Structure 1
Amino acid sequence: MTSRPLVDPELIAFIEAFPTVNIGAENLAAVRQSRDAALAQLPPFPASVRVEEVFIPGPKGAPDVRLKLYRKKDGAEGPRPAILHLHGGGYIMGNPEFMGPMCALWADAYDAVVVAPAYRIAPETAFPGNVEDAYAALAWANARAADLGIDTARIAVAGESAGGGLAASLALLVRDRGEYSFCHQQLIFPMIDDRTAVRADLSPMFGEFVWTNASNHFGWASLLGQPPGSPDVSPYAAAARAESLAGLPPTFISTGALDLFTEENLEYARRLMAEGVPVELHVYPGAPHAYMQMAGARVTRAYMRDALSALARGLGVDWKD
């Protein structure tokens, strides 16, 4: 059984241009190289945005964390909102440059300070290296808030795929440590439940294209250093493992109806709502994982409208499309 007849006709070219590959130890280096080569095809940033590369102190005993910093050149002098952005890549690849155009758009449209760390990835660094790197970036942004012009009461966390999963886990860690706070979390088809990788009852309508459950299994095993589905997985690695989601910030969750993560995302949204967290949830028909790379598709335009509006509300900024 195939989900191909359900794919939005405007996204057929996308799934044909990016043939699905099951990622494992034998081809990870080649896949990383291919993804990095695609950076040359990214569109230019708005001339109104200044982009800097900064190295900040990492977690105790760990290397410095490289991050990209996006700010509007003629932005307000007073405190501005900020977004901590965490890139995707299945926890095993990727870097902050991949979503550079979106980070620059946020900085320009919202007059926001966008902090995008290059957190350590697996299997070279297993959990908790990734979430501690993200926490270090948040700590740095708070410590430098006066210099950067950041309003610490208006810091959102955002991410796509593994970055969305890491954002959700970081929000849990921030809630539990009680040192800092997020005003909003923006979770785009987040990778939040390692147990999906070992489900025998998962419908074939989910995850046929782009990011398969075979790749998912490898990504989770690499991050956790043990088989996914094990009984002792930390919620700071897989947010769906959290016993309680109470006290988390208002949340925007979106996914595609054909995404591998659809069911875990729906369940996470349900649990958030049941525990009193404001949630805006969108499921886009005919959309596989990472469908937004097809920028001109109507479903992508709908997602962009919804996501930009939700993030603006979460940050408390006046923004119109």
Structure 2
Amino acid sequence: MAKNSPYISQQLIAQELRPALAQLPSTSLSTRNLPKVRNAIRQATQLQLGNVPAELLEVDCQSIRLPSDFGGPDIPALMYTPKNRGTNLPVALHFHGGGYILGEPGVNDTQNRTLAKTLGCVVVSVAYRLAPEHPYPSALQDGLSALNWLHSNAQCLAIDPSRIALIGESAGAGLAAAIALHSRGSLPHPVKHLLLDAPMLDDRSQHLSVSHPYCGEYSWTAQNNHFAWRAYLAAEPGGESAPEGAVPARETDLSGMPATFLIVGALDLFLNENLVFGNRLIQCGVPVELHVIPGAFHAYGIAGPEAPQVKQTHALKYQALTRAWQ
């Protein structure tokens, strides 16, 4: 966590993103206030779902429930499908952010509708179970079940199981990476692409961030990150070991991973762990496209779709998926 003057560190934030600082949460998460924060997110999500822009009504959104392959409860999800769709469509299997303890698919409703409309794909956004009520491996099991469901139902869904991309933001991106790791060699068709937006990959973040004096000062702090990993792992994070398969950055062999797109802000707490993970993928022969957005903090998308950094990010993501699905 940054220990420098806020005045100095704010000067490092891109000018177009500075107005969004007032919208950033300043809450230090705790067991006591977690329900309140979740409720606030839920209310904001319902407001968004009730105010869909007219141009995005061209995309159908259906609430579905997926069976668990691990004896768990059915898994809620939102499925976005372009109207007048064709067949054999590619799929983006999406996982929302929130540190494994917050969030729901509807948070990304506008983003996922836009993705489905722009690229003519199906988007399935999974409401995986959250910690601390459901620590690891609950979220991973839900994600794997959703991926298996797409393969098992590809024909009736009129999708192409050879063109499934795993996408996500923050913890959702970390979960996507974990699912890709666990599913290597076990599917009828390998995961086609991995699209990671500021992924939460390493429970040892506080150690990796020491060399960057400004990362993690805004939006998602080291304190919140520690609380979230503690809830997800049901153990103290950052130790010599972690539950097997829970932390993608602790995986010793990254070979066989799908081609990966990774984007992160230069002031994000996760910057160093993302750079390390991307470099390790490259060393294992995995095609990697990696972008660092100057002056951007974690979840800089809050600045709105017209901010140039947000526009750039969306364009880069769409280009990466278009190439992957060709």
Give me the TM-score of the superposition, normalised by structure 1: 0.94
Match for 1:136: what amino acid?
A: S
Q: Does 1:153 align with 2:159?
A: no
Q: Residue 309 of structure 1 corresponds to which residue in structure 2? A: 319
Of residues 36, 53, 64 in structure 2, which corresponds to 1:54?
64
User: Using the alignment, how far apart are the partners of 2:277 and 2:88 within structure 1?
Assistant: 32
Displacement of 1:60:
2.6
Distance 1:307 1:314, change over 3 A: same
Structure 1 residues 87 and 282 mapped into 2: Cα distance closer, same or farther (>3 Å)? same
The equivalences for 1:4-19 within 5 A come to 4-19=10-25
- Name the residue aligned to 1:104: 113
Is 1:30–2:33 an aligned residue pair?
no
Quote the residue 1:319 is aligned against.
none
Check conservation: 2:24, 2:219, Cα contact below 8 A. Answer: yes
Q: What amino acid does structure 1 have at the position aligned with 2:137? A: P
| Deviation of the 1:180 alpha carbon | 4.8
Amino acid at match of 2:52: P
Q: Secondary structure at the match of 2:71?
A: coil
- 1:156-195 Cα shifts (integer Å, max 9, x gaps): 0000000000000110011154555210000000000001
Q: Structure 2 regions of 5+ residues with no counterpart?
A: none
Structure 2 distance, partners of 1:88, 1:195, is: 19
**Matched pairs, number:** 315
Question: Which residue identity does 1:156 align to in structure 2?
Answer: A
Q: 1:53: Cα distance to partner?
A: 0.6
**What whole-Å deviation, never above 9, does each CA across 1:221-263 have from its counterpart, x for those lacking one?**
0000001113332463211011011111111000000000000
Paired residues for 1:270-309 under 5 Å: 270-294=279-303, 295-309=305-319
Whether the 8 Å CA contact 2:12–2:295 is kept in 1: the answer is yes
Task: Quote the Cα distance in structure 1 between the aligned partners of 2:216 and 2:295.
Answer: 12
Q: CA RMSD in A?
A: 1.6
2:52 is aligned with 1:44 = yes
Amino acid in structure 1 at the alignment position of 2:85: G
Does the C-alpha gap of structure 1 residues 58 and 161 become closer, same or farther in structure 2, counting only changes over 3 Å?
same
Q: State the TM-score, normalizing by the size of structure 2.
A: 0.92
Which piece of structure 1 moves more, 303-312 or 37-46? 37-46
CA contact (8 A) 2:209 2:269 kept: no
- How far residue 199 of structure 1 moved from its aligned partner, in angstroms, is 5.5
Classify 1:120/1:197 alpha carbon distance in 2 versus 1 (closer, same or farther; 3 Å). Answer: farther
Identity, % of aligned positions? 38
Gaps of 5+ in 1: 317-321
Summarize the Cα distance change of 1:252–1:199 in structure 2 as closer, same or farther, 3 Å threshold.
Answer: closer
Deviation for aligned residue 1:61: 2.2
Partner of 1:6: helix, strand, or coil?
coil
Q: In structure 1, how many angstroms separate the alpha carbons of the residues matched to 2:209 and 2:236? A: 15
What is residue 237 of structure 2 aligned with on the other side? 228
**Matching residue's letter, 2:114:** L
- The answer to whether 1:81 aligns with 2:108 is no
Residue 122 of structure 1 aligns with an amino acid whose one-letter code is: A
SS at structure 2 position matched to 1:175: coil
Q: Does 1:72 align with 2:70?
A: no
Q: Where do 1:139-218 residues align within 5 Å?
A: 139-175=148-184, 177-178=186-187, 180-197=189-206, 201-218=210-227
- Residue 227 of structure 1 aligns to a residue in which SS? coil
